[in-house]
Each structure stands twice: as structure tokens, then as C-alpha cells.
Amino acid sequence: MVISPFTPPRFLVMMRTFPPKTLDKNKSMRIGPYVLRNNLFLAPMAGVTDRPFRQLCKRLGAGMAVSEMVSSNSLLRGSAKTLRRANHEGESEPRSVQVVGADPKMMAEAARFNVDGGAQIIDINMGCPAKKVCNVMAGSALLQDEPLVTRILEAVVRAVDVPVTLKIRTGWDRAHRNAVKIASIAEQCGITLLAVHGRTRACQYQGEAEYDTIAEICAAVNIPVIANGDITTAEKASWVLRYTGAAGLMIGRAAQGRPWIFREIDHYLRSGRRHPEPPLSEVRDTLLAHLHNLYVFYGEHTGVRVARKHISWYSKGQAGGGVFRNAVNRLQTASEQLAMTREFFETQMSATELAA
Ligand SMILES: Cc1cc2nc3c(=O)[nH]c(=O)nc-3n(C[C@H](O)[C@H](O)[C@H](O)COP(=O)(O)O)c2cc1C
């Protein structure tokens, strides 16, 4: 088949033959003793879903936000990065910490350690495609070894008395899509909830996420399955929920610079109507408050650097955004960064008012 540059994404073609239906209610869901306000999850993203971002997404409608992964290697436990990743002060319940590793004993110990540190849910990472993770046979590499998956899941579930959840991809590569098998192993081992990114490890982030395997998993197991991958709009969210039969949705990259996407999806699923886009004044205020929280959490030096990518995401698509990003990325202090960001959004607001 020749694919022209104008070939619409597969999901749009499928949406026509399988139209999305608005759900009557966006049912709240439960993980162990925790009842979530809705079934929308912020995806764990290393370097992105730190405590300030998780809190922001929860405030703007996410029912659940999983931490960035922490290594099961005890030698790394004292590092500033790991300590920061395990910091949940002031974070609303339930607090879920994701652990990554390949050794059942170390994974069990890491789970216990994090529960002692305040984690209320342990999430196991079997979805990360990063080379440095897969080279030590962790993350998505584990999908190649089903007996090892069983041993890890059994060990972690036995080690803690909090719910244990699992995040996977659909398999190692397209020739080895074993997610249905892994899901049933997870169910047998006592995993409470399963999130599935609709790509194999070999696919990395290329092409479109596929939802057929997620639908197969949902039909095969009785634990809640959360569909993940390329959910970028409220309409698509509704379609994915319907098409896969998943209990909930997990959103990652589409929340970068758009933490209100959870509110938009929640509103659409409940009412069938689009939530209006936030006005620029709200975008400005949300970003400025986010920056303040980053400076407090990381300290000024690191906070200013972490903030740069968030400023870029929030300003994407705005007129003059490229020039602004170039300039703002050179600034070294919080006060300069805040002032330039405020000025940029105020200029955008004046331009919009003039055009109206
Ligand atoms: C920058 C970045 C970091 C990520 N870090 C993690 C991680 O620590 N643990 C994990 O399970 N998945 C991680 N992922 C994968 C996401 O959780 C998610 O499965 C993936 O981005 C697909 O969802 P999306 O299309 O909504 O972004 C990461 C993804 C990105 C883009």
C-alpha cells in the first residue's frame, strides 16, 4: 500500500467506522482502598512528573498521578535525585511510586523501602524502552522473560501490604506481542491494576499507538486495565475508552504544557461537550505558579533549568514562541525567568485583545 503524505491517522479512519460514544458517567475507580475522583491517570515520565507537576495535574483533573521511576538498586537510594523522586510531602492521596529493576529480591526490597517512605501504591515499570534500563534487562526488556516477570510480580506483591500496579508495553517487538499473556500473569500474581502503552519496545515512540492489543487484554483479564498512548484530545480519549473497553486512560506527553487536558477530558466524558480552552490569562497564571513550585522544590539553580522545558511546552504554538524560548532559556535566575515569561504572555494577551 502506498501511503500518501495526506493519509489520515489510523484512529481517525477507525473513528468514522467506529464512532465514539460519550459515556454516561466518567465512573470513579478504585485501587485497593483508594477511590479515585475519576479514571484519568497522569503517565509516569522521568524528568517531567516530579511532585510539582503531579500536584498540578491532580489539581486540574487527573484522578491519579504516578511518580517518576526510582531504581531498585539500593546503592542509588541516597542520591539527591532518588530522594527528590521519593519526596511526596503535601501530595494528595494516593501516592504511587514506580520502581524499576530486574532482580525480584531487589524489587521487593525497593517496594518495602518506598512504602516505609510513604508510598501508598507501588507501580512496577515493565514499559520503559530506554537503553540504559533495557541493557540491564529491566523495564520493557522484562517482557521477553515471562518466568522472570512472574517472579518479580510475586516477590513485590508478597513484600508489601499496599496495592501493586504494573505498567507494560504490548511486547518486545511486533513479532513478540505477549501483552495478553503478561496481563494474565499479572492478574494471577495479585496485581491490582495494569496500564498498557499500545506500542512494543521496538516501536519506541514511532508510528501510532495501537489499541487492538489493549482491547484484547481488557477482554482477557478481570483487573482494571488503563489504556495509554497518543491520547491527545477529549474526543480521542472517549474513543479509546470505548474502543478498548479499558477502565481508564493514561495521558503522558499531551499533558506537557497542557495540564488542564485532564479537566477537558473529564468534562467531555461526563457531559459529551467540549470544555473551553483556557484563556491566556489562565495559561499565564498556571505557568507562573508552576514555576514558583519548581523553584521551591528544586532550589533556584536546578529549578530554573528544570523550568525551561515546561516554559517551552506552555509557549508552543504561540506567535513569537521561538524567539521567546531562545531568550528565556539563557536566563539564569528565577526572577528574570518569571519576568520574561509574564511579559511574553501579557504581550500575547494584548495582541489577542487587539485582534478581537
Ligand atoms: C520523557 C518521558 C519519560 C518517561 N518516563 C517513564 C517512566 O519513568 N516510567 C514509565 O513507565 N514510562 C515512562 N514514559 C512512558 C510514558 O509513561 C507513556 O507510557 C508514553 O509516553 C506513552 O504515552 P503518551 O503517548 O500519552 O505520552 C516516559 C515517557 C516520556 C515521554
**pLDDT score of 5:** 40
* Tens-digit pLDDT string for the chain (356 aa): 333 444 445 555 555 444 443 443 445 699 999 999 999 999 999 999 999 999 999 999 999 999 989 888 877 777 888 888 878 888 889 999 999 999 999 999 999 999 998 999 999 999 887 778 877 778 889 999 999 999 999 999 999 999 999 999 999 999 999 999 999 999 999 999 999 999 999 889 999 999 999 999 999 999 999 999 999 999 999 999 999 999 999 999 999 999 999 999 999 999 999 999 999 999 999 999 999 999 999 999 999 999 999 999 999 999 999 999 999 999 999 999 999 999 999 999 988 877 87
Does the Cβ of 230 fall within 6 Å of ligand 1? yes
Give me the phi and psi of 198, to 5 degrees please: -75, 50
User: Dmax of the chain from CA atoms?
Assistant: 64
Question: How far, in Å, from the CA of 44 to the mean position of ligand 1?
Answer: 6
Does the Cβ of 139 fall within 6 Å of ligand 1? no
Question: How far, in Å, from the CA of 325 to the mean position of ligand 1?
Answer: 24
Dist. CA 64–CA 30, nearest whole Å: 11
Does the Cβ of 99 fall within 6 Å of ligand 1? no
Cβ(202)–Cβ(134) under 8 Å? no
Q: Which of 11, 40, 45 to mutate to test the pocket of ligand 1 (most atoms within 8 A of CB)?
A: 45
Spatial neighbors of 317 by CB under 8 A, at least 6 apart, are: none
**pLDDT score of 310:** 98
- Indicate which atom in ligand 1 lies nearest the CA of residue 68: 8
Question: How far, in Å, from the CA of 209 to the mean position of ligand 1?
Answer: 13
Question: Catalytic one among 128, 189, 203, 218?
Answer: 128
Does the Cβ of 125 fall within 6 Å of ligand 1? yes
Residue nearest to atom 2 of ligand 1 (CA): 45
Question: How far, in Å, from the CA of 352 to the mean position of ligand 1?
Answer: 34
Question: How far, in Å, from the CA of 135 to the mean position of ligand 1?
Answer: 18
Q: Give me the sign of the Cα torsion angle 336, 341, 344, 350.
A: negative
Using left for φ > 0, alpha for ψ between -120 and 50, and beta otherwise, residue 156 falls in alpha
Residue nearest to atom 3 of ligand 1 (CA): 45
Does the Cβ of 123 fall within 6 Å of ligand 1? no
Residue nearest to atom 14 of ligand 1 (CA): 45
Cβ(261)–Cβ(254) under 8 Å? yes
Does the Cβ of 254 fall within 6 Å of ligand 1? yes
**pLDDT score of 7:** 44
**pLDDT score of 146:** 96
Amino acid sitting at position 152? I
Does the Cβ of 269 fall within 6 Å of ligand 1? no
Does the Cβ of 169 fall within 6 Å of ligand 1? no
Angle at which helix 280-298 crosses helix 51-59, to 10 degrees, equals 150
Q: Could you give all domains of the chain from N- to C-terminal order, each with its CATH number?
A: 9-271 (3.20.20.70), 280-355 (1.10.1200)
Q: Is 128 a catalytic residue?
A: yes
